[in-house]
A and B are shown apart, each in its own frame.
Chain A
Amino acid sequence: MSHETYYVPAQSRWPIFASIALFLLAYGAGTLINGLKTQTGDTGLLLLLAGAFMMSLILIGWFRHVINEGMDGKFSPQADLSFRWGMSWFIFSEIMFFVAFFGALFYVRTLAVPWLGGEGEKGVSNMLWQGFEAQWPLLTTPDMEQFPGARAVIDPWHLPLINTAILISSSFTITLAHHALKAERRSAIILWHGLTVVLGVIFLFFQASEYIEAYQELGLTLESGIYGATFFILTGFHGLHVTLGTLMLIIIWIRVLKGHFTPDSHFGYEAVAWYWHFVDVVWVGLFLFVYVF
């Protein structure tokens, strides 16, 4: 490992403008959301869009800058390792984000709802809603007027099962693509990687149609009580991550086509693959604990 050549970039304008963009995004989102009920969120929407636009430009520019540095050979193996540590810990932080929601789900299912139904030492909370019966999925909420429970929940053995198969196979196809990259088999990598992208898009399509079914046919909505709340926050954030992952897959595919990677130097590719495996593993957890059990 050569320590002498660690690349310390010169001054950079990207970060501070990225902070401004983030501020616009956040302030805009706050104003927009606060104005939702009164229809006064227009300035918010404007700020949000400005922030989003600025952020996209910055991310494109910043990544292009780093990619060019990489192609100029500025990153020593040690710098490469810094990126690897960075990406790994970033994925760990993402896992912890999901842990919060899974934790909420487990707590509600195994403790809060049974207690609300009169079970255990905390059974007194049943006095508030006498006659409420604990069940999971929770279709009859304590206050059906404020939170009308869903008529039914998604059947795990149709779309979700197919989606599980899709995501798991996409983990295999991206691994095949990675192997092809290392063996310099260009057409194979284009094929397998392209297949991964297609699988990701199909997954998202099914997920969207599932949401439509939930809202239009099952009455399973954000407002349908704690089952809907946990269902949508978990699948929703997962879906957002798949969207981001698919975007990353597409961009990295373009980079493959442009010949940016060599068999022994393709960290960018591996980072995307790691991320994809991560959304895959989260899905398996979702499938088991949100849909099946």
Chain B
Amino acid sequence: MNTITKVEHTEHHGPAAGISRWFYTTNHKDIGTLYLWFSFAMFLTGGCMALMIRAELFQPGLQLIQPDFFNQMTTMHGLIMVFGAVMPAFVGLANWMLPMMVGAPDMALPRMNNWSFWILPFAFAMMLSTLFMDGGAPNFGWTFYAPLSTTYAPPSVTYFIFAVHMMGISSIMGAINIIATILNMRAPGMTMMKLPLFVWTWLITAFLLIAVMPVLAGVVTMMLMDIHFGTSFFNAAGGGDPVLFQHVFWFFGHPEVYIMILPAFGIVSEIIPTFARKRLFGYSSMVYATSSIAFLSFIVWAHHMFTVGLPLMGELFFMYATMLIAVPTGVKVFNWVATMFRGSMTFETPMLFAIAFVVLFTIGGFSGLMLAIAPADFQYHDTYFVVAHFHYVLVPGAVFAIMAGVYYWLPKWTGHYYPETMGKVHFWCSFVGVNLTFFPMHFIGLAGMPRRIPDYALQFADFNMIASIGAFIFGFSQLIFLVLIIKTIRGGSPATSEVWDEPTGLEWTVPSPAPYHTFTTPPEVK
């Protein structure tokens, strides 16, 4: 091409000076950083809401907040954590790492990449502004079931709907970018079956995102029509059905939970081999397991709806299909354990988080299996047992994996090692806090305490108090993480290119900190 000179020119300068760098940037590393900081801010915001919930539940009776505000807190907490903290964190990691891992100069569509990010702060500003509106913020739970979210919703639901639309646009564009990058930007020789697992899991996650975010857009659009334009999608008086809402929502919702866990699988599959000093056990089975989980995730949605009165065949189908997911999930857990088996392991912070992930995520998987048993779920549904289940897969699952990834790649991003002792303190505080918070919820759930309730019967008091103490421990430990990150950005012992002990992957062949532009000429992968 006759434009090489021009291209060279634009590619070899460093970051622009001043604040405008962050607004106008097209650089995947900048955008990754933006995503990660945004996610962290949302994590703390949603965390404060969780602490308000746990403070109210510290003792039976109403002490601090009114029931309606309590409901607003559970709703906003869920929405912010799912769409504002976990998903953007994974996208941030993808932005930073995918181009380096496949040997590409940047993401495939850099300007759209910037747009995907900058929609988010506006979407969440709108979402959070509902807290100050007449009638309060959405109070119908993060699953916004009709008719709670239609007939009985506060007026702010309209803004909630448009905020969801904005997040959807952002996610779809982000996912398109990721797929295009992986399919089209790999360095010569980087065949599909040589891709690092983080790349593979993100490829499949991006596919899930493009498949289900539009369905979410569809369901909120039907809500909008029901609320303001007189349709009756979710109203039986006009021939519609409130259960229709749940079907459409969970057709999005179940793949969505896998969107939040597949990239976590990828991160853990990168970390464990490095610190076990062995190759990942069963690479190709990991790829196939991930793909089959993604496929199965489309045909299990009604396991969230066992108690709505599905026909018997429906209950059976969704019960067995759900249990089937345990098979590929088991393959993955087996492979991680087999990778560690007889490895020469060391336990730096990323590895601690990764091992905790394997153990605690598995606990969440097992409670999932219990919930999948339709007749048993009649008892468990809408109790704290469900809350325990999904917090085990999401907090020591997805969130621990994100933290593991941050510790693992932080020296590559900043050029400094993080303070190891401080990292370990952060890990152990988080570990203790998480288990104190969520493990007792299994017991109170089995004993029948309903979820989304600001007050409870006296027999649940002790476990609730333990859970609240755990929550505050977990919450405040995250400040250690914040301080550690800032310290590492500012300084610390300089990291080598490899950072760890002979890790595999192209990202370890570039200097630390990774230069502003990497792989402007693609590397040759053997």
Contacts and interface: CB of A to CB of B under 8 A. Distances in A.
A226 B232 contact: yes
B241 A18 contact: no
B4 A227 contact: no
B248 A103 contact: yes
A89 B180 contact: yes
A10 B121 CA distance: 23
A125 interface: yes
A16 B23 CA distance: 6
B96 to A, nearest CB: 16
A202 to B, nearest CB: 28
A73 B2 CA distance: 8
A280 B10 CA distance: 41
A224 B26 CA distance: 49
Nearest to B227: A33
B247 A107 contact: yes
Contact of A9 (B26, B126, B169, B213): B26
Contact of A122 (B188, B233, B311): B311
Contacts of B45: none
Given A85-B180, A108-B239, A26 B248 contact: no
Interface stretch (B70-78, B157-165, B390-398, B454-462): B157-165
A128 B236 contact: yes
Interface size on B, as a range, is: 35 or more
Contact of A116 (B1, B109, B239): B239
Contacts of A16: 23-24, 114-115, 118
A83 B187 CA distance: 18
Contact of A74 (B3, B21, B111, B241): B3
A16 B233 CA distance: 36
Contacts of A73: 1-3
A44 B25 CA distance: 31
Interface in A92-109: 92-94, 96-97, 99-101, 103-104, 107-108
Given A82-B108, A92-B210, A229-B232, A143 B238 contact: yes
Interface string A120-155: 111001001100000000100111001100000000
A226 B236 CA distance: 9
B211 A96 contact: yes
A6 B248 contact: no
B111 A89 contact: no
B131 to A, nearest CB: 15
B13 to A, nearest CB: 8
Interface string B237-251: 111110110011001
B224 interface: yes
Contacts of B244: 104, 107-108, 112
Contact of A12 (B21, B114, B180): B114
Contact of A85 (B20, B108, B214, B237): B108
Contacts of A74: 3, 6-7
A226 B239 contact: yes
Contacts of A4: 4, 521-522
Given A74-B6, A92-B210, A104 B163 contact: no
B106 A8 contact: yes
A15 B114 contact: yes
A12 to B, nearest CB: 5
Contacts of A18: 115
B497 interface: no
Contact of B10 (A9, A89, A141): A9
Contacts, number: 249
A89 B236 contact: no
Contacts of B326: none
Given A6-B185, A228-B231, A86 B1 contact: no
Contact of A121 (B184, B240, B311, B522): B311
Contact of B228 (A36, A128, A142): A36
A142 B10 contact: no
A104 B109 CA distance: 34
A121 B309 CA distance: 9
Given A12-B26, A93-B213, A112-B243, A5 B179 contact: no
A112 B231 CA distance: 16
A76 interface: yes
Interface in A220-247: 221-230, 232-233
Interface in B88-112: 104-106, 108-112
B480 interface: no
Contacts of B24: 11-13, 16
B16 interface: yes
Contacts of B176: 85-86, 89-90, 93
B162 to A, nearest CB: 4
Contacts of A125: 236
Contacts of B312: 121
B119 interface: yes
A248 interface: no
Contacts of B522: 3-4
Interface stretch (B139-147, B215-223, B358-366, B379-387): B215-223
B183 interface: yes
A6 B230 CA distance: 51
Given A23-B126, A30-B159, A229-B225, A8 B105 contact: yes
B162 A29 contact: yes
A222 B184 contact: no
Contacts of A208: none
A3 B188 contact: yes
A28 to B, nearest CB: 9
B374 interface: no
B420 interface: no
A19 interface: yes
B342 to A, nearest CB: 40
Nearest to B215: A100
A226 B443 CA distance: 43
User: Which of B20, B121, B158, B163: most chain A Cβ within 10 A?
Assistant: B158
Given A73-B1, A86-B176, A141 B238 contact: yes
A256 interface: no
A7 interface: yes
Given A11-B16, A12-B111, A85-B108, 17 more contacts: A8-B110, A9-B111, A12-B24, A14-B115, A20-B122, A23-B125, A23-B166, A27-B162, A82-B108, A85-B184, A93-B210, A93-B214, A115-B241, A125-B236, A225-B239, A229-B231, A229-B232
- Which 10 pairs between the two chains have the least Cβ-Cβ distance? A100-B218, A147-B238, A15-B115, A226-B239, A143-B237, A229-B231, A97-B214, A223-B230, A112-B241, A26-B162
27 contacts: A8-B517, A11-B24, A12-B114, A14-B111, A14-B115, A15-B112, A16-B23, A19-B115, A22-B119, A22-B122, A26-B166, A33-B158, A33-B228, A73-B1, A74-B7, A82-B185, A89-B179, A93-B210, A97-B217, A104-B233, A104-B244, A108-B244, A116-B239, A121-B309, A229-B225, A229-B233, A229-B240
